[in-house]
Chains A and B, each alone.
Chain A
Amino acid sequence: MADTAIALRSVASPVTETRRVRATLITLTIVVMVLFLIAPLIAVFAQALNLGLEPALATFNDPDAIAAIKLTLLVAAIAVPCNLVFGIAAAWCIAKYRFPGRALLVSLIDLPFSVSPVVAGLVYVLLLGPFTPIGAWFLEDFGVRIIFAVPGIILATIFVTFPFIARELIPLMQDQGTGDEEAALSLGASGWQTFFYVTLPNVKWALLYGVLLCNARAMGEFGAVAVISGKLRGETVTMPLQIEIYYQEFRALAQVSAFTLAAVLACLALVTLMIKTWLEWRYADQLAATRSGH
């Protein structure tokens, strides 16, 4: 016994853990993953197909469901590009400049993570609701309703998903410093050329992860949107809200619809994950080059 133990130990590297520790850690990780990630995912699909394929597909004949899917895609399509611009701008100024209030800005970026989305939604209602000065001004002068309407949903989603892209970019851009930008400028590049040819390519992978995370959250956001939407069916109900509405109706068919829509949402997440994996595989060499740049 003792001999084999010694033999095993002499084979393993002295700076990694023993086989037993490694096996335990790997098993633990897999068990947790299956229990908390994969099993629920399977359950969602199983519930959706509980009564067969037809009732599940019938969900897509409900105009409310279709409107919810469209609204969710619309909200994501607006919120993600907005946060792309805000995130890059915030990361840029935090990583590349020194200015008073910089530390405050860094902690403010995390605010949406630390504040409950419901509170965020309520704040928007109190600030921009139809009976507040700003809300009334928008409603009367522009005829635009913000709260209990699509603009409010978009605003709340932007707020909640703001940190994702900035958080991905800040550490990387701080790490890279301003050397490459200075080099580009000294070679005669303009500010925009420097940004598009040098800064952006240097952070494009972090940017991609940020966008994917931001998109996943934008499509899945519930709390803030629930407060702000007013739940006008077919108008201000996003997919997560629609799922909840179906789920609250105690009809068997509605239950199926709830899980079908949940499955669609899960599929959207899976697709983004697959795109990310495929890109990583496709550009593995480039990724390695940028990571070990120096």
Chain B
Amino acid sequence: MELAIRNVRKEFDRFPALHDVSLDIRSGELIALLGPSGSGKTTLLRLIAGLDFPTEGKILFGDEDASFKSVQERNVGFVFQHYALFRHMTVAENIGFGLKVRPSASRPAKAEIRRRASELLDLVQLSGLENRYPNQLSGGQRQRVALARALAIEPRVLLLDEPFGALDAQVRRELRRWLREIHDRTGHTTVFVTHDQEEALELADRLVVMSQGRIEQVGTADEVYDSPNSPFVFGFIGESSSLPVRIENGELWLDDRPIDLTIEGAPNGKAQLFFRPHDVELLDGTGGIVGAVVASRRVAGTKRLELEIGGGRHRVEIEVPATHPATNASRVAFRPKRWKLFSESGQPYDPAPVEAVSYLRAPRLQAKVSPAAKAS
């Protein structure tokens, strides 16, 4: 089932929760709505489900306008953040509920409902727990039951609200992989909401990054991570450092020093430079960006340096090999390998020659790092 969201706006008591959101979801796709709390991601999911109606705009299921269809008419499977399992029903009764409440003409026989329930329990790997009550299950098991219950009605679309939000890290990872498997096996168009970027990057075919009621960017994990189109996305997805710079005739300046980075076709003026802490190359000389180390932390196989630049006016983080000899107060010069420049109003400066440069340089840089790796 293809979904289309067309210029949807949603207000709660005249407080806008979504502004003019448009999105196309392909059939069979696994989509993540990613954003901080208050970004409108759950609101969008509930609008798709029909648990709320849009103030303006349309929601299309295929070619059919579903904007003001009730949740029952839309036939969606919705998995709630806290599962919302019916506590007075057994697992099997919970799963069979959607079939039991059908009008008598299309309602399967009791035995058939029972059979479907245990089939779905097999699918979610919980066979044998038919007669348990929800409060006798662990969080991960409840989550699986909630999913089986949503799948029982053979939904056209599967919607999940923070599906792994209340689970501990170990179970989360496990369930993530498992959800991906179920999705690939059943082929449902699936939309899930999360604030966890790792979850979104790992699980989804495409990500919809949202902030303050707007869609910031839609794309695959690679697209969103490698070419973020706004300062928000750059800052929200992955780790990032940023510096306020100035463009002068295609050259970038930090305070009163040029930093050996150039950009073509950008007007002179202030701009914001973004880069990833691990996408930097260390320089021997004094070129590039120079900073004083104020803190260093060992993070797994690498070392994180916190640098103070321009006499303490700016702070950035960079990643260096674990064997790097930097100590506090020592000076380090670096240059971002990949970076992105945004105007003060948040517009990206395109086309950035950045990509080409960084890809050309990448092999040489890796060669530069590898001797250290070999030595260790």
Q: Which of B76-84, B246-254, B277-285 contacts A (4 or more CB under 8 A)?
A: B76-84
Is A198 a contact partner of B86 (Cβ separation < 8 A)? yes
Q: Bound complex: CA of A290 vs CA of B98, how far in Å? A: 21
Residue of A nearest to B75 (CB): A188
Interface size class of A (residues with CB under 8 A): 20 to 34
Interface string of B103-137 (1 = CB under 8 A from A): 00000000000000000000000000000011110
Q: Which of B77, B82, B87, B88 contacts A186 (CB 8 A)?
A: B77
Q: Bound complex: CA of A187 vs CA of B86, how far in Å? A: 12
Q: Bound complex: CA of A208 vs CA of B97, how far in Å? A: 25
B72, CB-defined interface residue at 8 Å: yes
Is A292 a contact partner of B135 (Cβ separation < 8 A)? yes
Is B101 a contact partner of A193 (Cβ separation < 8 A)? yes
- Which residues on the B side are within 8 Å of A198 (C-beta)? 86
A201, CB-defined interface residue at 8 Å: yes
Contact flag A179-B133 (CB < 8 Å), given A186-B77, A187-B149, A189-B101: no
Residue of A nearest to B78 (CB): A186
Q: Bound complex: CA of A186 vs CA of B69, how far in Å? A: 12
Is B87 a contact partner of A188 (Cβ separation < 8 A)? no
A140, CB-defined interface residue at 8 Å: no
Contact flag A188-B102 (CB < 8 Å), given A202-B88, A289-B88, A289-B133: yes
B71, CB-defined interface residue at 8 Å: yes
Q: Bound complex: CA of A270 vs CA of B16, how far in Å? A: 56
Tell me the chain B residues, 38-88 only, with Cβ under 8 Å from chain A.
49, 51, 70-72, 75-78, 80, 82, 84-88
Is A289 a contact partner of B135 (Cβ separation < 8 A)? yes
Give the Cβ gap from A29 to chain B, nearest Cβ, in Å: 32
- Which residues on the A side are within 8 Å of B152 (C-beta)? 187
Q: Bound complex: CA of A183 vs CA of B80, how far in Å? A: 7
- Which residues on the A side are within 8 Å of B85 (C-beta)? 183
- Which residues on the A side are within 8 Å of B76 (C-beta)? 186
- Which residues on the B side are within 8 Å of A286 (C-beta)? 88
B294, CB-defined interface residue at 8 Å: no
A182, CB-defined interface residue at 8 Å: yes
Interface string of A170-207 (1 = CB under 8 A from B): 00000000011011111111100100011001100000
Give the Cβ gap from B99 to chain A, nearest Cβ, in Å: 9
Q: Bound complex: CA of A201 vs CA of B75, how far in Å? A: 25
Is A188 a contact partner of B78 (Cβ separation < 8 A)? no
Give the Cβ gap from B359 to chain A, nearest Cβ, in Å: 47
- Which residues on the A side are within 8 Å of B70 (C-beta)? 185
Interface centre among B76, B77, B97, B153 (most CB of A within 10 A): B97
Residue of A nearest to B159 (CB): A186
Contact flag A183-B86 (CB < 8 Å), given A193-B101, A293-B134: yes
Count CB-based A-B contacts (< 8 Å).
76
Q: Bound complex: CA of A187 vs CA of B159, how far in Å? A: 12
Contact flag A180-B84 (CB < 8 Å), given A186-B78, A188-B102, A188-B153: yes
Q: Bound complex: CA of A8 vs CA of B51, how far in Å? A: 58
A282, CB-defined interface residue at 8 Å: no
Is A182 a contact partner of B80 (Cβ separation < 8 A)? yes
Contact flag A186-B101 (CB < 8 Å), given A179-B80, A179-B84, A202-B87: no
Give the Cβ gap from B141 to chain A, nearest Cβ, in Å: 14
Is B88 a contact partner of A182 (Cβ separation < 8 A)? no
Q: Bound complex: CA of A290 vs CA of B77, how far in Å? A: 25
- Which residues on the A side are within 8 Å of B102 (C-beta)? 188
Is A183 a contact partner of B84 (Cβ separation < 8 A)? yes
- Which residues on the B side are within 8 Å of A289 (C-beta)? 87-88, 133-136
Tell me the chain B residues, 150-176 only, with Cβ under 8 Å from chain A.
150, 152-153
Q: Which of A187, A197, A290, A294 contacts B153 (CB 8 A)?
A: A187
- Which residues on the B side are within 8 Å of A187 (C-beta)? 97-98, 101, 149-150, 152-153
Residue of B nearest to A204 (CB): B88
- Which residues on the A side are within 8 Å of B133 (C-beta)? 289
Is B82 a contact partner of A185 (Cβ separation < 8 A)? no
Q: Bound complex: CA of A293 vs CA of B84, how far in Å? A: 10
- Which residues on the B side are within 8 Å of A179 (C-beta)? 80, 82, 84
Q: Bound complex: CA of A235 vs CA of B333, how far in Å? A: 102
- Which residues on the A side are within 8 Å of B49 (C-beta)? 186
Can you list 9 A-B pairs, Cβ within 8 angstroms, ordered by A? Answer: A179-B80, A179-B84, A184-B97, A186-B76, A187-B97, A187-B150, A189-B97, A190-B101, A202-B87
Partner-A contacts on B (CB < 8 A): 49, 51, 70-72, 75-78, 80, 82, 84-88, 97-98, 100-102, 133-136, 149-150, 152-153
- In the complex, besides A202-B88, A292-B135, A294-B82, 16 extra interface pairs with C-beta distance below 8 angstroms are A182-B51, A182-B71, A183-B86, A185-B51, A185-B72, A186-B71, A186-B72, A186-B78, A187-B149, A189-B97, A201-B86, A289-B136, A290-B88, A293-B134, A293-B135, A294-B87
